[in-house]
């Protein structure tokens, strides 16, 4: 038997067979612990063992020796030798089994927010509130095609069941199918088919300073997380670093500033790869902004969402400075690579 404790103080008891991992056992009993690789490498299923005799397979390479000494575990690599108790730094809400039945939503508003980017507001047609975590995504079937595209939420779940998504509109020459729909055919009231997406990039329990890093339309997930920090009345310092190709690509800045004013310690730093004569901010990449951020000696949570090059660049920046969860026990970095799709 295993007892699972979640950050919202809820608890679940499950049975674990001798030949199954804790992750498999939880899933069998409809508790969908976050996971991605299921091979012990990504760390997205990370938890803590509070008591009991357990065996971690040699494949748990996302854990350092000190992680193991501190009782950290990976449910995808863990089997039980008897009763055990575990805790997780996420709420039980995100472990609900995913329901991938498609549902409808109608286009309520379309707001251009930058050069080649729009905020798409959809009215979800579900009787119950659409539930998701700040940083997660949803799938949309591109009208007139059989293809699906994933987009991160900009807002938080709400009783009105409205969702806001930030979408890039690529130039005509790029032949993006969603871009072409948004550019040429979309009308208010259009009904779109949606599917719950999810994803393991969500805001964890905030116990220390937070650094949010966004590149391009990866900003959507980061704004959603900023909203949640405001909702939770986060008292820790929050830095939001935002990089784009050109000044005209930066968007939602007023909204970010207004959210930031509701936090006691908030700073927004922007960089563009290519400035213009009016640009007074930093010209460069988000990594050039990191030097201006107090990282509290590695005691902070970093959330990265953006194109793969940006994610790799930021991860390398931290690795070069030897700021990793291997060197600093209070350091955690979560990321979501935002694949460009039109």
Residues binding ligand FES (CB under 6 A):
35-38, 40-45, 62, 74, 76
H-type helices in the chain, by residue range? Answer: 22-28, 65-69, 177-180, 219-231, 253-260, 286-290, 308-320
- In the complex with ligand FES, the residue whose CB is nearer, 40 or 342, is 40
Contact between 201 and 136 under an 8 Å Cβ cutoff? The reply is yes
- Min CB(43)–ligand FES separation in Å: 5
- In angstroms and rounded to an integer, the radius of gyration of the C-alpha atoms of the chain is 21
- Min CB(72)–ligand FES separation in Å: 11
Per DSSP, the three-state class of 217 is helix
- Min CB(40)–ligand FES separation in Å: 5
Distance CA 79, CA 24 (A): 10
- In the complex with ligand FES, the residue whose CB is nearer, 73 or 167, is 73
- Min CB(64)–ligand FES separation in Å: 13
- In the complex with ligand FES, the residue whose CB is nearer, 65 or 173, is 65
- In the complex with ligand FES, the residue whose CB is nearer, 43 or 247, is 43
Contact between 202 and 94 under an 8 Å Cβ cutoff? The reply is yes
- In the complex with ligand FES, the residue whose CB is nearer, 73 or 314, is 73
Contact between 303 and 201 under an 8 Å Cβ cutoff? The reply is yes
Residue 206's φ and ψ, nearest 5 degrees, are -90, 115
DSSP secondary structure string for all residues of 169-180:
---GGG--HHHH
- Min CB(24)–ligand FES separation in Å: 11
Count of C-beta atoms within a 10 Å radius of residue 194: 22
Q: Which of 174, 250, 160, 161 is nearest to 214 (CA)?
A: 250
- Min CB(200)–ligand FES separation in Å: 8
- In the complex with ligand FES, the residue whose CB is nearer, 73 or 269, is 73
- Min CB(76)–ligand FES separation in Å: 3
CB < 8 Å & 24+ apart, contacts of 100-103:
100/195, 100/196, 101/195, 102/141, 102/193, 102/194, 102/195, 103/193, 103/194, 103/195
- In the complex with ligand FES, the residue whose CB is nearer, 62 or 270, is 62
């Amino acid at each position: 038997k295993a007892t699972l404790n979640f950050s919202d103080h809820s608890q679940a008891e499950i049975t674990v067979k001798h030949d199954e991992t804790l992750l498999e056992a939880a899933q069998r009993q409809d508790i969908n612990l976050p996971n991605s690789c299921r091979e012990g490498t990504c760390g997205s299923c990370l938890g803590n063992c509070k008591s009991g005799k357990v065996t971690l397979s040699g494949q748990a390479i996302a854990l350092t020796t000190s992680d193991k000494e501190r009782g950290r575990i990976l449910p995808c690599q863990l089997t039980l030798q008897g009763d055990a108790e575990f805790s997780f730094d996420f709420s039980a809400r995100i472990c609900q089994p995913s329901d991938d039945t498609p549902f409808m939503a109608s286009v309520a508003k379309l707001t251009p927010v930058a050069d080649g980017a729009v905020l798409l507001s959809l009215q979800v047609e579900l009787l119950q509130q659409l539930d998701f975590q700040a940083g997660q995504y949803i799938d949309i079937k591109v009208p007139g095609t059989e293809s699906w595209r994933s987009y991160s939420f900009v807002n938080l779940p709400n009783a009105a069941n409205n969702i806001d998504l930030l979408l890039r509109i690529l130039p005509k020459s790029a032949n993006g199918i969603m871009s072409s729909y948004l550019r040429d055919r979309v009308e208010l009231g259009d009904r779109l088919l949606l599917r719950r997406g999810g994803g393991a990039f969500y805001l964890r329990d905030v116990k220390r300073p937070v650094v949010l890093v966004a590149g391009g339309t990866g900003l959507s997930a980061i704004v959603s997380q900023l909203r949640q920090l405001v909702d939770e009345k986060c008292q820790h310092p929050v830095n939001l670093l935002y990089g784009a190709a050109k000044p005209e690509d930066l968007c939602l800045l007023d909204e970010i500033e207004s959210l930031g004013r509701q936090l006691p310690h908030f700073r927004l730093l922007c960089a563009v790869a290519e400035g213009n004569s009016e640009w007074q901010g930093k010209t460069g990449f988000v990594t050039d902004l990191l030097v201006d951020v107090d990282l509290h000696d590695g005691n902070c949570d970093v959330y990265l969402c953006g194109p793969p090059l940006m994610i790799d660049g930021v991860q390398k920046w931290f690795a070069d400075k030897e700021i990793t969860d291997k060197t600093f026990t209070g350091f955690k970095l979560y990321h979501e690579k935002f694949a460009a799709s039109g």
